[in-house]
Structure 1
Amino acid sequence: MARIAGINLPAKKQIAVALTYIYGIGPSRAREILERTGVAPNTKVMDLTEQDVTALRREVESYLVEGDLRRQVRANIQRLTDIGCYRGLRHKVGLPVRGQKTRTNARTWKGPRPAKAGKRK
């Protein structure tokens, strides 16, 4: 099992998929990292050599991932709420931030629907 950026990568997955388990690395960035290090994308994590793991670890460290990225995102949201802009207020209230309609959608943000009085189940 390879440990990169504090995350244990699943041993039976291909390395291109396993890298996406790291917060801040998606499919396209995973492919980019694999091209730079010269590791084949369809290699299983358990089949990686120590040199491959070291090269991947070094390459991933050049990106902002995991705790540092989460901290930066949280700081950006906090800055928006502190200055009191529209986006910050939407974050604070827990509603969609990017202009989506809320009359019928936004259940994830707004939570489950309240039960109607007198409605039979």
Structure 2
Amino acid sequence: MPRLLGVELPAKKKIGYSLRYIYGIGPARADLIIETAGLDANMRASDLSEEQLNKILHIITDNKWVVEGDLRRDIASNLKRLQAINCYRGIRHRRSLPVRGQRTSTNARTRKGPRKTVGVTKAKEV
């Protein structure tokens, strides 16, 4: 399994798909990296040599793309800032509710979690 930026890339997948395992690299950037590095898109990640891995790493650093730990840290600090200034979006994040205007009376189960029954429940038969 090749390692790149501290991430184990799945060896049996094509390069385009395995590069997406790096946080901050999606389909478009993965294709751009492959094209810039001059690699075969059908090549598997296990077939990459050290030289090719270094080439991919240089492309990411030369373009100054924020990936992995730095990107996660930036996103976390943005959320903390929103919560600290008590803006509407920060309050919604703090309460684990949808942030971008979705309805919450029904739906929003992904964000709110499983239903919590409030009120009277049926007593177990004795």
Task: Tell whether the structures are fold-level matches, with TM greater than 0.5.
Answer: yes
* 1:64 counterpart residue number: 66
* 1:85 counterpart residue number: 87
User: Identity over aligned residues, as a percent?
Assistant: 49
| 1:21 partner letter | Y
| 1:101 partner letter | R
Deviations 1:12-46 (A, max 9, x none): 11000000001111111111111111112221011
* 1:118 counterpart residue number: 122
Q: How many residues align?
A: 120
* 1:5–1:60 Cα contact (<8 Å) kept: no
Specify every segment of 5 or more residues in structure 1 that has no aligned partner in the other structure, as ranges.
none
Deviations 1:76-121 (A, max 9, x none): 011111111100110011100011111111112111112472299x
SS at match of 2:79: helix
SS at match of 2:111: helix
* 1:6 counterpart residue number: 6
| 2:26 partner letter | G
SS at match of 2:83: helix
Distance 2:34 2:58 in 1: 12
* Structure with the greater alpha carbon radius of gyration: 2
Could you tell which deviates more after superposition, 33-42 or 17-26?
33-42
* 1:46 counterpart residue number: 46
1:104 is aligned to 2:92: no
Following TM superposition, where does structure 1 have runs of at least 4 consecutive aligned residues deviating by more than 2 angstroms?
none
RMSD: 1.7
Could you tell which deviates more after superposition, 91-100 or 33-42?
33-42
